[in-house]
Structure 1
Amino acid sequence: MNGLKEGWFSETSSLWPGTCLSLQVDSVLHSEKSDFQDITVLQSKAYGRVLILDGIIQCTESDEFSYQEMISFLPLCSHPSPKKVLIVGGGDGGVAREVAKHPDVEEVTQVEIDAKVLEVSKKYLPFMGQGLSHPKLKLVVGDGFVFMSEHKKEFDVIITDSSDPVGPAVSLFQQTYFELMREALKPNGIVCSQAGTVWFNLREVIDVMSHCKNVFKTHAYAYTCVPSYPSGQIGFVLGSLDADINFKEPRRIFNDTEMNDMKLRYYSSDIHKAAFTLPRFAQKALYDNVTNNKDKNENIRL
């Protein structure tokens, strides 16, 4: 692995040029190349176990709960009754673990294209991989595009837990993908997809927001804080077939006892509301540019 030198792993990518996060490594627990990507699991000095796909950090034992809880509970708590949920991607099992906690959820279907990621996560990342064995979960190894094309109007919520928009994941950030999700939703259904960070990927976030707006009646962008991700933040784009939804106001509010029982460490109704409050540059770039359909080639700067 090119990023591993002299006991340190350094993550570099064209998505965040000129910067990288380096983690001191105690040991390499696993490394292989699947049919789809390079898969590595490290034991790090500060972040615990780390899953890396194609040289990019996907999750760490130290801070994964922030991402997993928010990508799950933002859409789930925005829906009045999320009984049937589809997860596309999420092979580490973290999203499945969180979605299954929601008391209204009765059935979770997860479609992951890379069986090796599932296998590795169960073995080396049990704190997330446990989600792959939950009794609510039906696990499908296959292509999410094909699966959704064969399952119309079935799901209340669709969550896409993908890697970044490079390589095979690029297709999950295109308008055709949002159209496919729309057709797989029940009336008033909600989608939530990983959508990058406004600090390094503002142009890409604007594009994804535009795709979502073109397909869904309502759309919004929210973010969460994850120290091991570029810029320390990651965002989500949400869309709904419900024209009257206000994503900033959760429809399901849990009390402290319920949150303790679900072992939530990041998500709460207050965090839900705050996640949609953006700094001015992001608010103007995302909503003004998307609303006014400004030239896609316009140079977007912070």
Structure 2
Amino acid sequence: MHDYQNGGSVSSTSTTVEQDTPIDITTFNHDAISFDPKTSKYWFYEKSADAFPGQAFGLQVDQILYHTKSQYQDILIFKSSSFGNVLVLNGIIQCTEKDEFAYQELITHVPIMSHPSPKKVLVIGGGDCGVIRELIKHVEDQTVESITMVEIDDMVIKLSTKYLPQMAKYHNHPKLNLIIDDGFKFLRETKLKFDVIITDSSDPEGPAEEFFQVNYFKLLRNALNHHGIVIMQSSENIWLNLKYLKNLIKKCKYVFPNVKFCQCYMPSYTSGQLGLLVATTNDSFNLTKPLRVFDRKKESQLFKYYNQLVHQSSFILPTWAQDYLEIDEESI
């Protein structure tokens, strides 16, 4: 994670959300916000010398809604001119009101619709509560019986409730057991078993890098019921660091015999795509085709991005990417 030393509205704790009025953008100081004198507009730029060198993604900023530094990370929320409210952690966009549903729906419904009986679900991370919103759809149709979410930073939940209410509207749902704790610690200590585990973590920089290692995959496997399914964002897509992605898949296959890679399309993520790894110990599961399907009318009622055809097509890769990911290389 990036370590920003910024001015602006910064608090040292994550216990309360007190700010009610936008911050004066003309005096606000943040590494990711800059002023363009040619257009007299303020811009947010997402940059990373490690994750995606040589490129950046920019959004015009209308208002700075909130800025703080919690115990764990730099949190920025701003209103953009074209993507609505935007949540940024450590300089990296986590979600925008315009396109968040694409990621939230795919990471949730691919494993849920691939499992024959997904009764107990664990979410690691996911403080914006978008995954919870999607899981509640399966609670309401009496498929999912219980949800446990483990989020280390309660400030993200509180701010999402206030500034992203359509995502975080089920943060206090009676079927949700919300635990403010470290996900690794929870997995190491829990005796519970889950049918589906959804890892909605930050990018693999700093402390979050542990979420992309073999030891973490082993913890996930130990917390799964027989033939359970796990899904996690891979951070990379095929247009960024393909070698890193292949190495991550190799690590996952060391623990899980059945691993697939899929991707969703959303413009607010670098290169317009985000990859997901889906894994299970069940060799017979065809993760690329949903076991359960809804008719077209119900799909339209429940989803904006996901449907049974999107489920299948999200696993289809261009020839060059598929060839590279499938060919064994000792150098990795």
Q: Which one of 207, 212, 215 corresponds to residue 255 of structure 2?
A: 215
State the one-letter code of the partner of 2:119.
K
Query: Could you list the per-position Cα deviations for residues 253-282 of structure 1 after superposition, in whole angstroms to 9, with x for gaps in the alignment?
Result: 1112322332x1000000000000011122
Query: Which residue of 119, 123, 140 maps to 1:83?
Result: 119
Structure 1 residue 12 corresponds to structure 2 residue 47: yes
Is the Cα–Cα contact under 8 Å of residues 95 and 131 in structure 1 kept in the other structure?
no
> What SS class does the counterpart of residue 227 from structure 1 fall into?
coil
SS of the residue 1:35 aligns to: coil
Quick one: distance in 2 between partners of 1:153 and 1:133? Answer: 21
Higher helix share: 1
Cα deviation, residue 293, structure 1: 4.8
Question: CA-to-partner distance for each residue in 1:216-249, whole Å, 9 max, x for gaps?
Answer: 1200000000101001000100110111011111
Distance 1:135 1:293, change over 3 A: farther
The alignment partner of 2:297 has SS state of: helix
Give 1:79 shift: 0.5
Partner of 1:206: 246
Partner of 2:31: 2
Cα deviation code 1:187-207 (max 9, x no counterpart): 000000000211112122112
Matched, 1:130 2:165: no
2:71 aligns with one of 35, 39, 52: 35
- Give, as a single letter, the amino acid of the residue that structure 2 aligns with 1:67: Y
| Structure 1 Cα separation of the partners of residues 286 and 198 of structure 2 | 18
State the identity as a percent.
Answer: 46
Match of 1:300 in 2: none
Q: Which runs of 5+ in 1 are unaligned?
A: 297-302
1:197 equivalenced with 2:226 (yes/no): no
Change (3 A) 1:168 1:131: farther
Distance 1:206 1:101 in 2: 33
Q: What are the within-5 Å matches in structure 2 for residues 219-258 of structure 1?
A: 219-258=259-298
Residues 38-187 of structure 1 correspond to what in structure 2 (within 5 A)?
38-102=74-138, 103=141, 104-152=143-191, 154-187=193-226
Q: How far apart, in 2, do the equivalents of 1:210 and 1:165 lie?
A: 16
RMSD of the TM alignment (CA)? 1.1
Query: 1:294 Cα deviation (Å)?
Result: 2.5
State whether residues 217 and 243 of structure 1, in contact with CA within 8 Å, keep that contact through their aligned partners in structure 2.
yes
Shift of 1:153: 5.5
Q: With the length of structure 2 as denominator, give the TM-score of the two structures.
A: 0.86
Larger radius of gyration: 2
**Quick one: which of 246, 260, 265 aligns to 2:300?**
260
Kindly report structure 1 stretches of 4+ aligned residues shifted beyond 6 Å: none
Which amino acid is 1:89 matched to?
A: G
**Aligned counterpart for 1:271 among listed residues 310, 325, 330:** 310
Contact 1:153 1:183 (C-alpha < 8 Å) held by counterparts: no
Counterpart amino acid of residue 160 in structure 2: S
Q: Could you tell me whether the CA contact under 8 Å between 1:94 and 1:129 is conserved in 2?
A: yes
- Separation of aligned partners in 2, 1:168 and 1:157: 24
The DSSP-based 3-state class of the residue aligned with 1:127 is: coil
Aligned AA (1:241): T
**Any idea what the Cα deviations from partners look like across 1:132-166, whole Å, max 9, x if unmatched?**
12232111000111111222451000000011111
The question of whether the paired residues in 2 share the 8 Å contact of 1:152 and 1:183 is answered with no
Q: Which residue identity lines up with residue 281 of structure 1 in the other structure? A: W
- In structure 1, what is the Cα distance between the partners aligned to 2:263 and 2:230? 15
1:90, CA displacement in angstroms? 0.5
